[in-house]
Amino acid sequence: MSFLPDGHLSSVAIAMLGGAVRVSTPFLFVSLGECLTEKSGRINLGLEGTLIFGAMSGYAVAFMTGSAWAGVGAAALAGAAFGLVHGLLCSLPRVNDIAIGIALMLFGMGLAFYFGKGFIQPVAPTLPSINLGWWSDSPQLRSALRINALFLLGIVLALGMAWMVRATRIGLIIRTVGDSSDAARALGFRLVLVRVASTSAGGALSGIAGAYLSLYYPGSWNEGISSGQGLMAVALVIFARWNPVGCVWAALLFGAAGALGPALQSVGITQGYYLFFAAPYLLTLGVLIATSSPNRSMSGAPGELSITR
Amino acid sequence: MRPSSRLLTPTRRLFLQSTAAVTGLAALGSLPAGKAHAANVTVGFIYVGPKDDFGYNQAHAEGAAAVRSIPGVTIIEEENVAETVDVQNTMESMIQFDGASLIFPTSFGYFDPHILTVAQRHPDVRFQHCGGLWSADRHPENVGSYFGYIGMGQYLNGIAAGHATRSKRIGFVAAKPIPQVLLNINSFLLGARSVDPEIICQVIFTGEWSMSVREAEATNALADQGCDVITCHVDGPKVVMETAAARDCFVCGYHADQSALAPEKYLTGAEWNWAQVYTSMVTAHLAGEAIPNFVRGGLADDFIKMSPFGPAVTESAQGQIADTKAKILAGGYAVIQGPLNDNKGNQIAAAGQNFEETDVALESMDYLVEGVIGSIS
């Protein structure tokens, strides 16, 4: 980055660190949700709709009850309900999970916009943040290290999910169901139950991702609140190779990429900002191209996934 | 996503047009001549976003609400209409199904090619576009443009900012580098520089009229660079105002009054006053009079107004703003005064050359003045 003037490199680095922490949390939750769903052998493309509905319901409940955490709970419940609908519909014979996902995405968005009309104006309480930058006297760094509890919760959740998938009986059941229905049936696992529960839990996580958007950063409900986090989650999960810990790194990377455009403009690199703003999307495209191959299936992919079969 | 609006295929549209024409003729026959406009009129308003966004669309919707109370006027509204063929379908549907004879498509990007296309098909319907692109030699007679000199409001915002800033750095979150936005940025800085010529203004373009996460990131980036007064030109300023206030920056409002979002940090704001503008246009249309094709107005014409001062605005700041406002109200005030260079060093006004408020040249502005850190491409 030799084209940066002196002193600006650290400034951009701090901004990207701050951006990574602030912007990554919704990516993290929604990709963990997608990861769990895909581990069980289903793909849910409707998480964008779930996320937006979660953002709306979280904001609405936080405003009505005066408690931001009640909003997060409501968003998780709403997300779980969307996941449940997806899971149940896809359990019917000859139903395509991709088509159902897209239908539910449009349904979730429409429903959120309809019920959300009255909540654009009111100001709901926001989630508190933990100040981890108290030791620094740079206001820039202090702001970058103001971390929301949900971010830490997300990291703990990712580690917990990785452990669950690797080392517990539940994890083994989910993996077996996701890798081979025949083997799962032979072992007497209840296929439909496992998949519906996984999809529903994944939906709840996406709902929380939406609540983070509307209750913390940017902390406002409007119809343009999501910039496609729910859709990009699918690419993130592939990027992370269906590994929950990988989702953390992928989310941080995408968050930092999103902060690149404003950070560069603020230090005077103003030419070509459209290109910098496209960074997260270019990254998505690059990931999908790099991981696609006509000859082999993707390593780490659950065998029952309809995209890899 | 909107299959119903896509059903208007050319053949079906022709069919609808011919039936509408027949019904129209029948209706004309039954009415005494010359009374056509005295009857009820239907006026359509089209917004690019939600009409309660604390910003651009809310300002227009408040104007539309004022029109609703005029006797004999029915208003129809549609929000969240994209600047694509969607808006053509919305206009067609307002004309053919609701019988609208006056339409206000309020977003900048609706004009070319969408309004121009539909206007050619319906020469008897009046289209009033907000944003200022109409010119007599190139565009149809039944299209008009209106806009306000809100740059003057941003100039007054800049004076408030110039008094409030301690770091001598102020920030601007801008959507797209179109002339109106550039004029606002330049006016904001020049207002601040009328207080202290050392002040610089950092601008960050988000590239979208409405994109919450990026607006919040841009606001944080400005605060990180030490900007301590922030304003914006995006459709819904709510996110910018709240994020900036949370970073302990002062804010200047835009489009509508956002003081409720940051009561301690809000200095003042440049607001639209469309109620007055729409009422006069619709009243003229109702009376069968022609609306001028090119309508402009500023503070003096009640097209724009300023938010009440917040608690942080000092006496001396209020005094300077009042003085400047009086000069603007007297007419002929120029924000862009020579000698002045752009931020690449090219001269944009020679010594003694002034671009007054009403100068049409300002509507094709393509530069940022000296002191603004930012680039339009």
Question: Which has more confidence, A143 or B29?
Answer: A143
Binning pLDDT at 50, 70 and 90, where does residue B131 land?
Answer: confident
pLDDT in tens, B272-305: 999 999 999 999 999 988 899 889 999 999 999 9
Residue A258 domain-assigned (yes or no): yes
Residue A227 domain-assigned (yes or no): yes
Residue A204 domain-assigned (yes or no): yes
Q: What is the mean pLDDT of residues B115-140?
A: 90
Specify the pTM. Answer: 0.84
The pair phi, psi for residue A46, each rounded to 5°, is: -90, 10
| B262 within 8 A of B219, measured Cβ to Cβ | no
Name every residue whose Cβ is closer than 8 Å to that of residue B100 and which is 6 or more positions away in sequence: B42, B43, B44, B76, B94, B125
pLDDT in tens, A19-77: 888 889 999 999 999 999 999 999 999 999 999 999 999 999 999 999 999 999 999 99
Q: Is the pLDDT of residue B333 over 60?
A: yes
Note whether B261 contacts A: Cβ–Cβ < 8 A. yes
Residue A89 domain-assigned (yes or no): yes
Note whether A124 contacts B: Cβ–Cβ < 8 A. no
B225 to A266: CB separation less than 8 angstroms, yes or no: yes
> Tell me, what DSSP letter sits at residue A26?
H
Which residue from A113, A143, A268 is facing B224, i.e. has the nearest CB? A143
Q: Cis omega before residue A244 (within 30°)?
A: no
A208: its two tokens: 């929380």
Residue A187 domain-assigned (yes or no): yes
Residue A250 domain-assigned (yes or no): yes
Question: Which has more confidence, B25 or A52?
Answer: A52
Residue A236 domain-assigned (yes or no): yes
Which among B210, B290, B277 is positioned nearest to B60, based on CA atoms? B277
User: Domain range for residue A200?
Assistant: 8-130+146-308
Residues of A with Cβ-Cβ distance to B375 under 8 angstroms: 270-271, 273
% of chain B with per-residue pLDDT over 70:
89
- Please tell me the predicted confidence (pLDDT) of residue A8: 74
Quote the ipTM score.
Answer: 0.86
Residue A139 domain-assigned (yes or no): no
Which among A156, A308, A163, A176 is positioned nearest to A238, based on CA atoms? A308
- Please tell me the predicted confidence (pLDDT) of residue A54: 97
The pair phi, psi for residue A280, each rounded to 5°, is: -60, -35
Q: What is the mean pLDDT of residues B366-372?
A: 95
Q: How many domains does chain A have?
A: 1
- Residue A103: closest CA among chain B residues belongs to which residue? B1
Note whether A227 contacts B: Cβ–Cβ < 8 A. yes
Note whether A129 contacts B: Cβ–Cβ < 8 A. no
10 Å Cβ neighbour count for A102? Answer: 15
Note whether A110 contacts B: Cβ–Cβ < 8 A. no
**A200: CATH:** 1.10.3470
Give the distance from residue A291's alpha carbon to the nearest chain B alpha carbon, in angstroms: 28
Q: Is the pLDDT of residue B10 over 60?
A: no
Residues of A with Cβ-Cβ distance to B1 under 8 angstroms: 106
- Residue A102: closest CA among chain B residues belongs to which residue? B1
